[in-house]
């Protein structure tokens, strides 16, 4: 069973999540030659205040 974990800064709409899951599932199924129903996708929405790039929190960047 392919397992995909996607982490995003901030939040996504339900429609965005559905489209991401569909596209990722199709890509994995096609490339790995696995049935789409075997692909497990997790989307983790992480608050921008919990992510740092270059020593600065995303929530504090312009």
Element at 40 (helix H, strand E) = strand 40-46
pTM, two decimals, is: 0.86
- Mapping DSSP onto H, E and C, the string for 47-58 reads CHHHCEECCEEH
- pLDDT reported for residue 18: 98
**Which domain CATH number covers 11?**
3.30.429.10
d(CA 31, CA 54): 34
Integer Cα distance of 57 and 24 in angstroms? 28
Does 61 fall in a domain? Answer: no
The tens digit of pLDDT for each residue in 6-50 reads: 999 999 999 999 999 999 999 999 999 999 999 999 999 999 999
Q: Contact at 8 Å (CB) between 47 and 11?
A: no
Residue 62: is its pLDDT beyond 70?
A: no
Mean pLDDT for the stretch of residues 50-54: 95
Number of domains within the chain: 1
Residue 23, domain extent: 3-52
Q: Would residue 43 count as lying in a domain?
A: yes
């Amino acid at each position: 069973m392919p397992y995909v974990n996607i982490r995003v800064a901030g939040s996504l709409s339900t429609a965005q999540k559905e489209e991401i899951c569909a596209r990722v599932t199709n890509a994995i199924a096609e490339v790995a030659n696995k049935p789409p129903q075997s692909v497990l996708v997790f989307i983790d929405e992480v608050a921008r205040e919990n992510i740092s790039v270059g020593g600065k929190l995303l929530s504090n960047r312009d």
